[in-house]
Chain A
Amino acid sequence: MSAVQQDTNVTAPSSTATAEARAAKLMKRRSRIRFFEIIVWIAAIAAYFVLPSKMLILTEIAILALFAVSLDLVLGFAGIVSLGHTAFFGLGAYVAGLMAMHFVAEPVTGLIVAGIVSGVLGLLTSFLILRGSDLTRLMTTLGIGLMMAEVANQMAWLTGGADGLSGFSPGPVLGLFEFDLFGKVGYVYCIAVLFVSTMIMRRIAFSPFGMSLKAIKGNAMRSAMIAVPARKRIVTVYTIAAVFAGVAGALLTQTTSFVSPDVLAFHRSADVLLVLVIGGTGYLYGGIFGAVFFTLIKDWLSVITPQYWMFYIGMLLVILVLIGRERLARWVEYLPERFSKKEDGQ
C-alpha cells in the first residue's frame, strides 16, 4: 500500500515503468503455485496407492472436480450464475460415446473432439447470456440445458433416447494403457486430464485476462470504462468453460462405457453449483475440494436413504445459504499462501 503512495510522487515516465514492473510482479505473485496445490496433487497420486479398492468413487470425484472447476471460471471469475452448465457436460458425454461407437475408440481423441464440440455450443450460446439481467441469464442457461436434454431424448436414432448409449468400449489410452476392471487406469487417466485441464484453466484464470473477468464481475460498467471489453471476455470465458465441461462429460462416458440421458438432467447443474459453493468460488481449487466433500456426502446419504437422498442435499443447500457460504468457505483463507518466503521478493 505504501508503495502506491510513494509512486504518486514520482514523475510520469518513470512511474509508468515502475508501475509496469510492479504489475508484472503482482501478476507473478498471484499466479505463483501455492503450497496447498502441491498437497492436492500429491494426495491425488497417493490415493492411487492407499485406496486401491476405491478407484471408482475417486474417478467420480475427479470428473466432478473437473466439471466444477470449469464452472468456477464462469461463476467465480465472470460472476455468471448458470443453471445449465450440464448442457456442455452432457454434450461432451454424448459426443465421446458416439466417437467411441462409430469412429475412433482411442479415448484422448474422443476427449478432444468432445471438448471442441462442447466449445462450439458454448460459443453459440454465449451470445444469449450477454443480454439482460441475472434473471434472464438464469432462464437462458436453464432453457439451454433443458433443450439439450429434450434433444437427446427426441433424437433416439442417434442418442438411444431414454435408454442411453451403451455397447461400446473405449480402446486403450493413447494405444498403450487398456482400461481395467478395477478402474485403476481410468483413475490415472482422469487425474491426468484433471491436472492438465486445471493447469490450463489456472493459467487463464490468473492471467491479466482472469483479472479483467473479476473486474467485469465486480462492475461491468466501470470495467468498460477502463477499456475491458466485457462482451468479448464473457464470450471467451464461457466458451473455454464449455470446452472443459465437455471434456469432463467425455471422461465420464469413457470410464463408465455408458451414456444415459441423466448426464443432461437438471440436478447435475444444481449439484455442481453446490460443489462450488461447498469448496468456495473464485480460486479454481474450490471445485476440487467441493467435489471431494460432495461425493463423500452423497455416497454416504445414498447408503442411508437410497431414494430420498435428494431431500438431504436440498437441506444442505438451504443450511449452507442460511449460515452464509462466505463464512463457510473462509477456511480457504487459512491455506498457506506462500510456498517459500524467499519468493515473495518484497
Chain B
Amino acid sequence: MLTILFDGIAYGMLLFILACGLTVTLGLMNFINLAHGAFAMAGGYVTVIMMNRYGISFYWCLPAAFLVSAAIGLILERTLYQWLYQAPHLDQVLFSIGIVFMAIAATDYFMGGQQQLINLPPELSGRMDVFGVGVGRYRLFTIILCAILAVVLQLILSKTRFGSRLRAAVDDRRVAIGLGINVPVVFALTFAFGSGLAGLGGAMGAEILGLDPNFPLKFMIYFLIVVSVGGTSTVSGPFLAAMLLGIADVAGKYYVPAIGPFVIYGLMIIMLILRPNGLFTRGGR
C-alpha cells in the first residue's frame, strides 16, 4: 500500500517535471504546445544514445539531456514558435501536431521503433527497506531530484528578477515592453528552460515511463490534464495535479488492472465538472 503510494509519488513527480515547462508555455504564454512531449522524447533519446553507444555515466546524461532539449527548444522557438504567439489556437494546435508527427517519424527513422532501455548505475537500481516499506532506489532518487527542482522553480518564479520579468511579460505584454523588458528574449529563455526541463524529465522517465517514438502522443493527454487541472498561475497547482494524477494512475493500474487506463479519464471528467477552470485558478481566461 505504502509502496504504491511511493511509486505514485515518484510517477507524479516525473509528470510534474515533464509538464511544468508546458505550464509556462501553455499557461503563461497562452500557447497551446502539444509538441511538448517531443522535447521530452529528445531528452530521453539523448540519454539512450550517450549511455548505450558511448558508455557515459547516467549522471552526466541528465544535464546533457537538459541542455540538448533546451537548445532544440531555443532554436525552434526562435525560428518557428515565435511567429505563432498571436495566432489563433487552432493554428497553434495544428502547428504543434505537425511538429509531433515530424518528431515521431524522424525518431522512428533514426532510432527504430522499438522500446529503448537504459541500464541504471548499480547504486540506483534495486530496492531498499525504509521503515519496513519497500522503496525503489531509483524512485527515491527521482523524488528527491524533482522535489529540489520544484522548490528551485518556485523560488525562481517568485524571487528572482527574471521571474518577475516573466510574470510581467505574461500579464501584459505591451506594458512590459514599455517598461524596457525585452519580452521576446524572456519568452525564448523561458521556452528553452521549459523544453530543457521536459528533456530532463524524459531522460529520467526513460526507466519508469518507457521510451519509444510514440512517446509524445502517449503522454500528451497526461500533460494536458496536469496543466488544465492544476491551473497555470502557480507552480504548486500543477505540482499537486501531477501528484494526484500519478498516484491515481499507479493505484488504478495496480488495484483494478481491467479498468486501470480509465481511472485518469474518469478523474479528468470529475475534475472538469467540479472545477472547470482548474484546481487553482486566477479566474477565467
Contact = CB atoms under 8 A, between A and B. Distances in A.
A133 B285 CA distance: 7
Interface string A307-332: 11111011111101110010000000
Interface string B256-281: 00110110010011001100110000
Contacts of B150: none
Which residue, B26, B90, B101, B227, has most C-beta atoms of chain A within 10 A? B101
Contacts of A134: 32, 89
If over half of A's interface residues share one DSSP class (helix, strand or loop), that class is named, otherwise mixed; here it is helix
Interface in A77-96: 81, 83
A132 B272 contact: yes
Contacts, number: 125
B261 A318 contact: no
A292 to B, nearest CB: 19
B272 A317 contact: no
A36 B249 CA distance: 52
A298 B28 CA distance: 36
Interface centre among A133, A139, A266 (most CB of B within 10 A): A139
Contacts of B276: 131-132, 136
A173 interface: no
B228 interface: yes
Contact of A311 (B90, B97, B106): B106
Interface string B89-132: 11111110111111111101100000000000000000000000
Nearest to B284: A133
Interface stretch (B50-58, B191-199, B217-225): B217-225
B85 to A, nearest CB: 13
Contacts of B224: 135, 138-139, 142-143
Interface string A242-269: 0000000000000000000000001100
Contacts of A135: 26, 32, 224, 227-228
Contacts of A140: 268-269, 272
B59 interface: no
A309 B101 CA distance: 9
A28 to B, nearest CB: 31
B80 A318 contact: yes
Interface of B, secondary structure class, is helix
Interface in B126-177: none
Contact of A308 (B109, B217, B221, B285): B109
A136 B27 CA distance: 12
B98 A147 contact: no
B179 interface: no
B87 interface: yes
Given A131-B272, A136-B272, A140-B272, A314 B228 contact: no
A321 B221 contact: no
A283 to B, nearest CB: 16
Contacts of B93: 81, 83, 138, 273
B83 interface: yes
A266 B94 contact: no
A128 B94 contact: no
B209 interface: no
Given A147-B265, A314-B100, A314-B101, A274 B95 contact: no
Contacts of A273: 93-94, 97
Shortest 9 CB-CB contacts between residues of A and residues of B: A314-B101, A317-B98, A311-B105, A131-B276, A314-B102, A318-B98, A321-B95, A139-B224, A314-B98
Given A131-B276, A136-B272, 16 more contacts: A75-B90, A128-B269, A139-B225, A140-B268, A140-B269, A142-B224, A143-B265, A146-B221, A270-B101, A273-B97, A309-B105, A310-B105, A315-B98, A317-B95, A317-B101, A325-B91
19 contacts: A128-B273, A131-B276, A133-B285, A135-B224, A136-B277, A138-B89, A143-B221, A143-B225, A150-B261, A154-B259, A154-B261, A273-B94, A311-B101, A311-B109, A314-B99, A314-B103, A314-B105, A315-B102, A325-B91
Interface of B: 26, 32, 34, 80, 83-84, 87, 89-95, 97-106, 108-109, 217, 220-221, 224-225, 227-228, 258-259, 261-262, 265, 268-269, 272-273, 276-277, 284-285
